[in-house]
């Protein structure tokens, strides 16, 4: 049984919902007046029963002012659970509003634009979850594989496509924009072009081999890329040897799957009569399935595995001779090959509309190299990018991505509640700051007002923090609500009052671990959970100071780890600006600080908080 | 327990003190060593130029042991390893065994897989056991320090030898020394190669290899270096003076056989154990025994 | 070094010798060289380099090299090799090929002739056996005929048909 | 004592990142599942991993455990048992499996994180089973020449990580000179482990970079054969790492005890033998099949890959027995993020299997 107690649950809109029921659903004990370890309090603080305030002092506590929009029933249960999770995690915390406003979305259809293994897998997985899928393929039929796909696997998948998948052959996706409820896509097909709406979009164009350009200047008459090799036609002269050079990562190291393909070619060549294969590589990238076994098989078959430092390969004699320095023998090696095989990497052409800087700052921000964006996810919620376009290895890896994307997509589309920011049109100055800064592409400028695509929103609050007019309320996190929460919490806190804005993806979990381990926080600390550090704008920091906080620490994820791509960086920037402002005002600039943190770095957090407390005591 | 003694070429001519002490120790510990004058050369010296011949010669010894129905026990690490390796290879490769048998038929012998080949020290440990050996000790050698030397073929190739020791972290010889109450010096080069393998082709190189260890031990103040292989003895004892000269240094590292140490512990006299035949005499030890 | 000048068949030939098959598995990690006691005292002796030259087909260079006879056959390399190349065995295969090509140094060939002459590496005669008898050790014998017959060698250690050494 | 729900659509064995991810994925699909973890706490090996971020996220994925734990705890579809061990399994009538779970060891004094200890022996009918039992890191003592367990100052990479997690070097000075030795129990035919463990290069280099950040003058040597790729911007990162530490392309022949710390014996490219002392030698152990792979394979009649991992190499998640799927690194070496993603496919396959057998054979 959880060590958190639910002390009080009274809220308009939850009538008929016995506290016991909520408590059971949340897996906690109801308070019977005994010792408290932590608490979730529902209802306004002012209405708290007598004596409760005293009992709560110094305990982890979450104040829940459940928003009126909540429908009750399941929602209330979920909210109670979320609140308890925060209470457990936050340790010594006092906070106002927690949950975002929810707006129900109807189930929607999915566009899969592409062909090959990744596209077919995505269509199949999504259809299996009951969503109507439009599979827009540039080809005449679904079973056309990419160059790097296993054709058998692709035709098998194509043959088993469920009925929910509608095939649009000869159709290209040419434009894509966010829209209320999802995306609008312009599809150009045999019947002409037109816009259609979709709840979610998967981009998975088929992969093509792209030569990795092992060395410039090779004689084209001798040179073939791996995928063009017809090994049956190769054999050595009756009285001697045919030398075949396989270049696998001589210019820059290959990915493991490309290296494996080069190895397979080398092995096939080595097994031909009187063929001496010289495999030139800088790193043996054997991290593919059975890559090491394959590498050893090659050597056993007589392939000369030869290391070349990246860029160390020289091409001479009109591209018919190769030379490189061998550190092992301390001399220059030369080879006049009869055949040169160059390695390839699988790539897909990026559709031109993906370079639309208005919709996403850059490709890297759309598909960041961030562990939270693995498995087909992009920074645009509801937009999934799979396969060669993403740089994924052919085969199983593409099916893995498609399945992951489908499950996440399903939850967004299956009538689940999704958060929704609110833009107050009268205050909005149309400066488009939100359009430019939202990491998820939610706000859009349509006919002189800002419209939001709720399926994309993660409630990170970057828009609200950035909005110079303070016109945006992210779901359940309007500035006045945040201020009120801070005020309540700081009123309870001892001197010196300290505020930690804790990102729920990093600092909140770390704080929770510390609290669970009995960490002694400074008495005046208020831990204020936020969905993303990006929510913490200048006004929030300044408000905390205004309300009596001696120091403010904003803790967000490490660079490159933010679920909102750059929410942490924006937050760091804001904290820096606040600090400078304080300095200009003749106040201590170090009272506002930013900390990069991960959920499993509790000690770093404890240290930073302790330092903050020490500074506050000194000052 | 009975075993067929495999003396090899070097021990019965050059290392009589080793043979003598081993036989004495074996007898004292209740092991019966059977001799067969037909046994000679393990074949190892032929390996570099003609493996097939080396294998055939080894198979000859194995076939002779099979006729006796006894395990083959060698005082020489190289012989033991070569014979064990031959057995290992022939057992795994029936074609090679058939080829060898064709040649052995000419001398009226036949190889059959299953001959146990082992080094004398390993044999002591597996048949008598460390605890039993310890229990038989009558003379306490505490106060003396012996540096055990495992060398190469007592440990390697490990897959052909009985898994008594980890070739990277051998313990068996040190335990035998400790059984006498003496200290075993765990020095860095205890599994180094003596260089005996290249003595024939490059005496200077072999001298450098052995010299490194002798210098190390010279500084370590040991009672003696304790050996279990006649090849190591050639290098560390036989060549010691020469090596000292070529390295332009003074060396006086006493060398004994581990069987002699065991014999002393078992209560035998230095004479019985042939200690008088040792060339770099363990004076400290001899004085103590005399006094 | 021009790879086209090598003999790609050489590595297959070495691999076909008993114990030589491990050669081709080498991926040049140098654990053997690191561990080789000879290399520590003779820097130009480098097991990895010998394997490399063999793989590159430098037949004459390898077989005629005096370095291949510097191996002390201690098996340290074989024990540490992650690819089970067993360099000691590979080198034995190479040395055998060298011996067949007439490249073996006299010291390496001495074993065979001694065996043919005495049936052992060190001759034993009356002097040795007297010494042994004094210590109570049993007599040992020379039986060279066995080895001559077994190995098809002439009494002086030359193979039949071979010219004088 | 059987007073728990006797059936579950899908049973997941193993509560590490892969098992948690599979459970969460199933919940997202609206499917109920039961997660059985042997240890008192969920999280598996990822629990012991620290954040490797220096100036930016190192993409190690260790932080995703917290996300998964929170989500698994919040999803009502997921039933979690800790200290639960599968002892036997037999095909149920029609389809699915009847799996016996038994408490693993005495109950921990306090439940740690989500889940409750298995209340006693439980016989559970599951329509499908997902195995997410994780890999077994190689015991470096098995590579005797590298001195682990007998040469002071030789530790495994996981032990180094544990020291970092415990903050060992915040109290006493960090080593000044440190060596990483790669491929310990990987790419090694002599140990019968002829596979690349994929993750150790990135893992060790991130650890090294983290150490370097805490003590910039630390001298780090990285003994390796080939650096495997890790992520999209890896080549650029690698170029930076090469400037920060010594990359030595050689496998050491030995690590021996020395007066000034463990000594690494290796050869330079041109053949020169080196013997260098370090304060600490870290062995990057490879990943192998789970410890109980044989027993599990027998229990469910599973296929095993050439290398002994669970399932088949050619099929990403099929385990070779009807209704059984494999997720994460018990199927082959995988990083944390790869395991999490892979579990998604296993969940999809298990869900599809359950849907396809619905109504068939039951009753």
For the stretch D301-315, pLDDT in tens is 999 999 999 998 778
Determine the residue of chain D that is closest to C39 in CA distance: D273
Contact B20 C69 (CB under 8 A): no
CATH number at residue A331: 3.50.50.60
Among the residue ranges A143-147, A603-607, D111-115, the one predicted with the least confidence is: D111-115
Contact C112 B198 (CB under 8 A): no
Residue-level pLDDT at A39: 56
C85 and C132 housed in the same domain: no
Q: What is the torsional sign of CA D25, D31, D35, D41?
A: positive
- For residue D250, the chain C residues in CB contact (below 8 A) are 29-31, 34
C40 and C95 housed in the same domain: yes
For the stretch C109-147, pLDDT in tens is 998 899 999 999 999 999 999 999 999 999 999 999 988
Could you tell me the CATH superfamily of domain D7-135+289-357?
FAD/NAD(P)-binding domain (3.50.50.60)
Query: Helices (DSSP H) in A41-182: which residue ranges?
Result: 52-56, 74-90, 116-128, 151-159
State how far residue B172 is from chain C, nearest Cα, in angstroms. 19
Contact C80 D250 (CB under 8 A): no
Q: Is residue C141 part of a domain?
A: yes
Q: Which domains does chain B have, with CATH numbers?
A: 2-119 (1.20.1050.140), 130-290 (3.40.50.11810)
Q: How far apart are CA A108 and CA A199, in angstroms?
A: 5
Q: How far apart are CA D113 and CA A517, in angstroms?
A: 12
Contact D57 A328 (CB under 8 A): no
Q: What is the three-class DSSP state of D325?
A: strand
Residue-level pLDDT at D173: 77
Query: Which of A281, A310, A343 is the endpoint of a domain?
Result: A343
Query: Which of C65, C100, C135 is the endpoint of a domain?
Result: C100
Q: Hey, which chains touch A, using 3+ CB pairs under 8 Å?
A: C, D
- For residue A375, the chain D residues in CB contact (below 8 A) are 340-341, 344
Instruction: Report which DSSP code applies to B198.
Output: G
Asked if the domains at D7-135+289-357 and D138-286 fall in one CATH topology, the answer is yes
- β-pairing, B32-34 vs B2-6, is parallel
Read off the tokens for A290: 């059975």
Q: Concatenate the DSSP letters of all residues of D169-215 into one string.
A: HHHSPPPSEEEEEEEETSSBGGGTB-S--SSHHHHHHHHHHHHHHH-
pLDDT at A63 over 60: no
pLDDT at A478 over 80: no
User: Does an interface of 3+ CB pairs under 8 Å exist between D and A?
Assistant: yes
Interval A348-366 mean pLDDT = 85
| D269 → closest Cβ in A328, A372, A375 | A328
C92 and C118 housed in the same domain: no
Q: Is residue C50 part of a domain?
A: yes
For the stretch A176-227, pLDDT in tens is 887 666 788 999 999 999 999 888 999 999 999 888 778 889 999 999 999 9
CA torsion D299-D302-D305-D309 (nearest 10°) is -40
Beta bridge partners of A198: A183
- For residue A78, the chain D residues in CB contact (below 8 A) are 74
Residue-level pLDDT at A71: 39
A335 and A353 housed in the same domain: no
Contact B192 C111 (CB under 8 A): no
H-helix or E-strand containing A396?
Answer: helix A396-413
Interval C87-104 mean pLDDT = 97
Q: With an 8 Å Cβ cutoff, is C126 touching chain B?
A: no
Interval A14-22 mean pLDDT = 44
Contact C135 B274 (CB under 8 A): yes
Query: Which of C100, C115, C136 is the endpoint of a domain?
Result: C100
Q: Tokens 């014996």: give the residue.
A: D265
For the stretch D222-242, pLDDT in tens is 999 999 998 888 889 999 999
Contact D144 B167 (CB under 8 A): yes
Residue numbers of the domain that contains C53: 7-100
Residue-level pLDDT at A226: 94
C27 and C68 housed in the same domain: yes
Beta bridge partners of B255: B225
- For residue D191, the chain C residues in CB contact (below 8 A) are 82
Q: Which residue has the higher pLDDT, D357 or B120?
A: B120
| D271 → closest Cβ in C31, C33, C79 | C33
- Domain assignments of chain D as residue spans, ordered by start: 7-135+289-357, 138-286
Interval A286-299 mean pLDDT = 96
pLDDT at A277 over 70: yes
Cis amide leading into B157 (omega within 30): yes
CA torsion B272-B277-B283-B287 (nearest 10°) is 30
- For residue B10, the chain C residues in CB contact (below 8 A) are 121-122
Please name the fold of domain D138-286.
Answer: FAD/NAD(P)-binding domain (3.50.50)
Alpha-carbon Rg of chain B, whole angstroms?
19
Q: Is residue C163 part of a domain?
A: no
Among the residue ranges A101-110, D70-79, D352-361, the one predicted with the least confidence is: A101-110
H-helix or E-strand containing C52?
Answer: helix C47-55
Residue-level pLDDT at B1: 87
User: Mean pLDDT across chain D, nearest whole number?
Assistant: 91
Residue-level pLDDT at A78: 53
State how far residue B75 is from chain D, nearest Cα, in angstroms. 27
The sheet with strand B224-227 has its strands ordered as B183-184, B145-148, B224-227, B255-257
A515 and A606 housed in the same domain: yes
CATH number at residue A536: 3.40.50
CA torsion B99-B104-B109-B110 (nearest 10°) is -10
User: Mean pLDDT across chain A, nearest whole number?
Assistant: 83
pLDDT at A97 over 90: no
Contact D144 B166 (CB under 8 A): yes
pLDDT at A344 over 70: yes
Q: What percent of chain A has pLDDT over 70?
A: 80
CATH number at residue C23: 1.10.1060.10
Residue-level pLDDT at C139: 93
For the stretch A372-396, pLDDT in tens is 999 899 988 889 999 999 989 999 9
Q: With an 8 Å Cβ cutoff, is C84 touching chain B?
A: no
Domains held by chain A: number? 4
State how far residue D145 is from chain B, nearest Cα, in angstroms. 6
Contact D66 A599 (CB under 8 A): yes
Read off the tokens for A414: 């299956």
- For residue B156, the chain D residues in CB contact (below 8 A) are none
- β-pairing, B117-119 vs A339-342, is unpaired
Q: Is residue A432 part of a domain?
A: no
Interval D68-95 mean pLDDT = 91
Q: A512-545 in b/e burial notation, b at 16+ Cβ within 10 A?
A: bbbbbeebebbebbbbbbbbbbbbbbbbbbebbb
Residue numbers of the domain that contains A45: 1-99
- For residue A238, the chain C residues in CB contact (below 8 A) are none
A172 and A126 housed in the same domain: yes
Residue-level pLDDT at A29: 54
State how far residue C75 is from chain A, nearest Cα, in angstroms. 22
pLDDT at D363 over 60: no
Residue of C21, C97, C150, C157 to mutate when probing chain B, most B C-beta within 10 A: C150
Q: Which residue has the higher pLDDT, D114 or D111?
A: D114
- Name the band, by pLDDT with cuts 50, 70 and 90, for residue A61: low
Domains held by chain C: number? 2
Q: Is residue A486 part of a domain?
A: yes
Interval D146-165 mean pLDDT = 94
Q: With an 8 Å Cβ cutoff, is D163 touching chain C?
A: no
- Beta-carbon contacts of D68 under 8 Å, excluding residues fewer than 6 positions away, are D17, D20, D21, D24, D340
Read off the tokens for D41: 């706490």
pLDDT at A154 over 60: yes
| Angle ∠(D311,D312,D316) on CA atoms, nearest 5 | 90
Q: With an 8 Å Cβ cutoff, is B10 touching chain C?
A: yes
Q: With an 8 Å Cβ cutoff, is B248 touching chain D?
A: no
A496 and A522 housed in the same domain: yes
pLDDT at A85 over 60: no
- Name the band, by pLDDT with cuts 50, 70 and 90, for residue A4: very low
For the stretch D179-215, pLDDT in tens is 999 999 999 999 999 999 999 999 999 999 999 998 8
Read off the tokens for B183: 């200290």
Residue-level pLDDT at A17: 41
User: Does an interface of 3+ CB pairs under 8 Å exist between A and B?
Assistant: no
Residue ranges of chain A whose CB lies within 8 Å of a chain C CB: 241, 243, 276, 278, 284, 295-296, 299-302, 304-305, 307, 326, 328-329, 331-336
Q: With an 8 Å Cβ cutoff, is A25 touching chain D?
A: yes
Q: Is residue C1 part of a domain?
A: no
- Name the band, by pLDDT with cuts 50, 70 and 90, for residue A41: low
- Name the band, by pLDDT with cuts 50, 70 and 90, for residue D123: very high
pLDDT at D359 over 60: no
Contact C49 A302 (CB under 8 A): no
Residue-level pLDDT at A292: 97
Which residues in chain B land under pLDDT 50? none
Among the residue ranges A147-156, A162-171, B232-241, D100-109, the one predicted with the least confidence is: D100-109
Read off the tokens for D17: 């990142």
Residue-level pLDDT at D28: 87
Q: With an 8 Å Cβ cutoff, is C148 touching chain D?
A: no
Q: Name the most confidently modeled range: A12-21, A356-365, B216-225.
A: B216-225
């Amino acid at each position: 049984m959880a060590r958190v107690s639910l002390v009080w649950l009274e809220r308009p809109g939850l009538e008929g919902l016995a506290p016991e029921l909520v408590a059971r659903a949340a897996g906690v004990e109801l308070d019977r007046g005994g010792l408290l370890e932590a608490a979730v309090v529902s209802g306004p603080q002012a209405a708290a029963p007598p004596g409760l305030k005293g009992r709560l002092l110094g305990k982890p506590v979450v104040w829940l002012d459940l928003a009126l929009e909540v429908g009750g029933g399941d929602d209330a249960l979920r909210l109670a659970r979320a609140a308890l999770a925060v209470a457990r995690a936050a340790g010594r915390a006092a906070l106002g509003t927690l949950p975002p406003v929810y707006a129900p979305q109807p189930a929607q259809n999915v566009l899969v634009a592409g062909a090959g293994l990744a596209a077919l897998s995505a269509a199949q997985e999504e259809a299996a979850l009951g969503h109507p899928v439009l599979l827009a393929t540039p080809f005449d039929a679904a079973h056309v594989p990419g160059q790097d796909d296993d054709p058998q696997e692709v035709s098998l998948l194509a043959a088993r496509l469920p009925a929910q998948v509608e095939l649009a052959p000869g159709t290209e996706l040419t434009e894509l924009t966010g829209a209320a409820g999802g995306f609008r896509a312009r599809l150009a097909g045999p019947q002409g072009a037109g816009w259609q709406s979709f709840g979610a979009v998967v981009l998975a164009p088929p992969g093509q081999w792209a030569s990795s350009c092992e060395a410039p200047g090779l004689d084209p008459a001798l040179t073939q890329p791996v995928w063009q090799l017809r090994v049956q036609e190769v054999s050595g002269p009756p009285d001697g040897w045919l030398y075949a050079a396989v270049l696998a990562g001589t210019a820059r190291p290959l990915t493991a799957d490309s290296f494996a393909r080069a190895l397979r070619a080398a092995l096939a060549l080595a097994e031909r009569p009187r063929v001496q294969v010289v495999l030139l590589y800088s790193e043996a990238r054997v991290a593919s399935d059975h890559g090491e076994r394959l590498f050893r098989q090659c050597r056993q078959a007589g392939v000369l595995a030869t290391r070349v430092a990246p860029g160390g390969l020289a091409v001479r004699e009109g591209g018919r001779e190769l030379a490189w320095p061998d550190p092992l023998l301390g001399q220059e090696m030369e080879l006049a090959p009869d055949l040169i095989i160059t390695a390839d990497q699988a790539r897909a052409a990026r559709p031109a509309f993906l370079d639309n800087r208005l919709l996403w700052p850059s490709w890297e921000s759309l598909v960041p190299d961030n562990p939270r964006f693995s498995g087909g996810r992009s920074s645009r919620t509801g937009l999934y990018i799979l396969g060669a376009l993403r740089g994924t290895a052919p085969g199983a890896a593409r099916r893995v991505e498609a399945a992951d994307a489908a499950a996440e997509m399903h939850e967004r589309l299956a009538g689940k509640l999704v958060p929704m920011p609110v833009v107050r049109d009268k205050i909005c100055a149309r400066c488009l700051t939100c359009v430019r800064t939202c990491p998820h592409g939610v706000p859009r400028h349509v006919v002189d007002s800002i419209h939001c695509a709720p399926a994309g929103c993660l409630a990170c609050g970057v828009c609200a923090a950035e909005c110079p007019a303070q016109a945006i309320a992210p779901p359940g996190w309007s500035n006045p609500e945040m201020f009120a929460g801070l005020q309540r919490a700081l009123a309870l806190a001892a001197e010196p009052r300290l505020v930690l804005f804790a990102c729920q993806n990093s600092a909140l979990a770390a704080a929770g671990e510390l609290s669970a381990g009995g960490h002694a926080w400074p008495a005046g600390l208020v831990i204020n959970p936020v969905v993303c550090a990006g929510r913490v704008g200048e006004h929030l920091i300044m408000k905390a100071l205004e309300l009596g906080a001696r120091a403010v620490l904003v803790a967000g994820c490490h660079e490159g780890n933010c679920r909102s791509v750059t929410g942490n960086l924006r937050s760091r920037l804001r904290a820096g600006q606040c600090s400078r402002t304080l300095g200009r005002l003749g106040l201590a600039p170090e009272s506002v600080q930013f900390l990069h943190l991960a959920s499993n770095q509790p000690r770093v957090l404890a240290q930073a908080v302790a330092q903050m407390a020490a500074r506050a005591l000194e000052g | 327990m009975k075993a067929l003694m495999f003396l090899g070429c070097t021990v019965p001519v050059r290392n009589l003190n080793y043979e003598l002490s081993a036989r004495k120790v074996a007898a004292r510990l209740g092991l019966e060593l059977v001799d067969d004058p037909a046994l000679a050369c393990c074949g190892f010296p032929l390996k570099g130029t003609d493996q097939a011949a080396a294998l055939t010669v080894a198979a000859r010894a194995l076939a002779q042991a099979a006729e006796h129905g006894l395990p083959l026990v060698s005082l020489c690490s190289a012989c033991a390893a070569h014979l064990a390796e031959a057995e290992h290879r022939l057992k795994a490769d029936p074609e090679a065994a058939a080829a060898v048998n064709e040649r052995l038929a000419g001398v009226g012998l036949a190889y059959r897989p299953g001959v146990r080949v082992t080094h004398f020290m390993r044999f002591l440990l597996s048949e008598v056991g460390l605890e039993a050996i310890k229990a038989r000790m009558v003379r306490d050698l505490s106060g003396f320090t012996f540096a055990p030397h495992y060398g190469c073929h007592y440990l390697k190739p490990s897959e052909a030898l009985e898994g008594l020791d980890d070739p990277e972290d051998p313990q068996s010889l040190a335990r035998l020394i400790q059984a006498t109450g003496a200290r075993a010096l765990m020095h860095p080069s205890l599994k180094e190669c003596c260089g005996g393998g290249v003595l024939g082709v490059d005496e200077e190189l072999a001298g450098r290899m052995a010299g490194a260890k002798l210098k190390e031990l010279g500084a370590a103040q040991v009672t003696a270096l304790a050996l279990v292989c006649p090849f190591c003895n050639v290098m560390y004892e036989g060549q010691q003076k020469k090596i000292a000269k070529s390295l332009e240094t003074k060396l006086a590292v006493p060398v004994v056989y581990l069987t002699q140490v065991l014999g002393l512990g078992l209560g035998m006299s230095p004479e019985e154990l042939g200690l008088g035949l040792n060339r770099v005499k363990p004076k400290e030890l001899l004085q103590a025994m005399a006094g | 070094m021009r790879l086209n000048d090598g003999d790609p068949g050489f590595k297959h030939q070495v691999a076909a010798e008993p114990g030589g098959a491990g050669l081709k598995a080498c991926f040049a990690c140098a654990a053997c060289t690191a561990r080789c006691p000879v290399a520590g005292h003779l820097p130009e002796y480098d097991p990895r380099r010998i394997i490399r030259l063999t793989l590159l087909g430098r037949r004459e260079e390898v077989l005629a090299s005096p370095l291949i006879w510097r191996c002390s056959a201690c098996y340290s390399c074989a024990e540490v090799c992650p690819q089970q190349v067993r360099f000691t065995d590979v080198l034995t295969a190479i040395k055998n090929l060298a011996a067949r090509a007439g490249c073996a140094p006299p010291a390496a060939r001495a074993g065979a002739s001694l065996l043919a002459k005495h049936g052992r590496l060190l001759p034993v005669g009356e002097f040795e056996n007297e010494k042994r008898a004094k210590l109570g050790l049993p007599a040992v014998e020379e039986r060279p005929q066995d080895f001559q017959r077994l190995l098809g060698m002439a009494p002086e250690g030359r193979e039949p048909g071979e010219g004088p050494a | 004592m059987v007073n728990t729900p006797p059936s579950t659509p899908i049973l997941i064995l193993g509560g590490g990142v892969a098992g948690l991810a599979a459970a969460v994925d199933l919940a997202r699909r609206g499917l109920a599942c039961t997660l059985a973890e042997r240890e008192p706490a969920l999280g598996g090996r990822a629990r012991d991993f620290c954040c490797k971020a220096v100036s930016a996220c190192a993409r190690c994925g260790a932080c995703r455990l917290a996300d998964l734990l929170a989500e698994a705890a919040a999803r009502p579809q997921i039933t979690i048992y800790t200290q639960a061990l599968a002892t036997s399994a037999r095909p149920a009538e029609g389809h699915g499996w009847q799996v016996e779970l038994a408490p693993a060891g005495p109950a921990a004094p306090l439940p740690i994180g989500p889940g409750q200890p298995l209340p006693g022996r439980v016989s559970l009918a599951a329509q499908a089973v997902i195995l997410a039992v994780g890999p077994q890191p190689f015991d470096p003592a098995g590579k005797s020449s590298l001195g682990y367990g007998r040469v002071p100052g030789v530790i495994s990479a996981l032990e180094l990580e544990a020291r970092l997690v415990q903050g060992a070097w915040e109290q006493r000075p960090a080593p000044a000179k440190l060596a990483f030795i790669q491929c310990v129990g990987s790419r090694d035919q002599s140990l019968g482990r002829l596979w690349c463990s994929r993750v150790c290069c990135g893992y060790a280099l991130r650890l090294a970079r983290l150490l370097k950040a805490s003590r910039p003058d630390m001298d780090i040597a990285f003994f390796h054969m080939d650096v495997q790729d890790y992520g999209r911007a890896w080549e650029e990162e690698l170029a930076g790492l090469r400037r920060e530490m010594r990359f030595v392309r050689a496998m050491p022949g030995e690590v021996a005890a020395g007066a000034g710390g463990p000594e690494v014996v290796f050869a330079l490219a041109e053949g020169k033998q080196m013997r260098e002392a370090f304060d600490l030698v870290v062995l990057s152990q490879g990943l192998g099949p789970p410890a109980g792979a044989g027993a599990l394979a027998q229990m469910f009649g599973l296929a095993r890959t050439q290398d002994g991992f669970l399932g088949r190499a050619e099929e990403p998640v099929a385990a070779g027995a009807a209704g059984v799927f494999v997720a994460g690194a018990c199927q082959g070496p995988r990083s944390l993020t790869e395991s999490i993603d892979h579990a998604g496919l296993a969940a999809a396959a298990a869900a599809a299997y359950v849907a396809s057998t619905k109504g068939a054979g039951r009753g």
